[in-house]
């Protein structure tokens, strides 16, 4: 258990504990345990020594070594770059294929959705229909066929107590529509 406690102390000193509960537990332990507190302070000092040594080592690198590194970087960049700026621009086909590559899932989903909508539009389109698609309706059952397959409603009478009613039957190339307009008697026209 001591090794695990030491690992948690190192993670706490480096600020790498994954859980706030662990941080609170370690801090409580540091308050009550002088040995853990001494280990934590020693870990902090070692960390400062290592960081200081690395900073000094970076300062000691000779300037000619940095110059050599930059020459290597420049040479690799020049080798990887195309010969001219004309070659750097992708062609139209490369741009199109790149776009499809990035958005392939969205394009596929759109094509499938559009196909499904087109199939539904063909099946449910209004116009001349025969009754082959009609389901038999018995008695007082509700007609659940699509509106495109139904016959136009026929209104025989319209009772409108305390008002007036008007029935308009409209027929166009899309089918037949019945509009029922009810006006209460207390409505004054023109107001």
pLDDT in tens, 151-186: 666 666 677 777 777 777 777 776 667 777 777 777
Q: 138 pLDDT exceeds 70?
A: no
Average pLDDT of the segment spanning 104-127: 83
Percent of the chain having pLDDT more than 70?
Answer: 72
For residues 23 and 9, give the distance between their C-alpha atoms in angstroms, rounded to a whole number.
10
- Burial, 175: exposed, middle or buried (Cβ in 10 Å; 0-12, 13-18, 19+)? middle
For residues 42 and 10, give the distance between their C-alpha atoms in angstroms, rounded to a whole number.
10
For residues 173 and 108, give the distance between their C-alpha atoms in angstroms, rounded to a whole number.
35
Average pLDDT of the segment spanning 118-144: 65
Average pLDDT of the segment spanning 129-144: 58
For residues 163 and 181, give the distance between their C-alpha atoms in angstroms, rounded to a whole number.
11
Q: 40 pLDDT exceeds 70?
A: yes
pLDDT of residue 171: 75
Dihedral sign (CA 188, 189, 190, 191): positive
Q: Decide if 183 contacts 164 (C-beta within 8 A).
A: yes
Task: Dump pLDDT digits (tens) for 52-88.
Answer: 888 877 776 677 777 888 888 888 888 876 655 555 5
For residues 159 and 176, give the distance between their C-alpha atoms in angstroms, rounded to a whole number.
23
Q: 134 pLDDT exceeds 60?
A: no
pLDDT of residue 1: 53
Q: 128 pLDDT exceeds 80?
A: no
pLDDT of residue 132: 54
User: So where are the chain's domains?
Assistant: 2-59, 131-184
Q: 120 pLDDT exceeds 70?
A: yes
Task: Dump pLDDT digits (tens) for 5-23.
Answer: 778 888 888 788 888 888 8
25 compared with 165, residue with greater pLDDT: 25
Q: 121 pLDDT exceeds 80?
A: yes
124 compared with 131, residue with greater pLDDT: 124
- Mapping DSSP to helix (H, G, I), strand (E, B) and coil, where does residue 71 land? helix
Of the pLDDT bands very low, low, confident and very high (cuts 50, 70, 90), residue 26 is confident
Query: Strand pairing partners for 169?
Result: 178
Q: Decide if 41 contacts 10 (C-beta within 8 A).
A: no
Q: 32 pLDDT exceeds 80?
A: yes
């Amino acid at each position: 258990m001591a090794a695990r406690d030491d690992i948690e102390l190192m993670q706490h000193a480096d600020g790498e504990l994954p859980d706030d509960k662990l941080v609170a537990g370690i801090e409580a332990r540091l308050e009550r345990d002088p040995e853990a507190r001494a280990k934590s302070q020693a870990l902090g000092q070692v960390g400062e020594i290592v960081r200081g040594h690395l900073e000094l080592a970076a300062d000691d690198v000779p300037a000619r070594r940095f110059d050599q590194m930059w020459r290597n970087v420049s040479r690799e960049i020049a080798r990887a770059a195309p010969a001219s700026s004309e070659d750097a621009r992708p062609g139209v086909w490369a741009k199109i294929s790149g776009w499809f590559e990035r958005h392939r899932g969205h394009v596929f989903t759109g094509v499938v959705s559009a196909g499904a909508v087109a199939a539904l539009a063909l099946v449910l389109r209004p116009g001349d229909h025969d009754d082959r698609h009609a389901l038999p309706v018995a008695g007082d059952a509700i007609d659940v066929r699509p509106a495109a397959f139904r016959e136009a409603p026929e209104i025989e009478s319209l009772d409108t107590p305390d008002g007036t009613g008007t029935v308009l039957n409209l027929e166009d190339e899309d089918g037949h529509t019945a509009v029922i307009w009810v006006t209460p008697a207390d409505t004054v026209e023109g107001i």
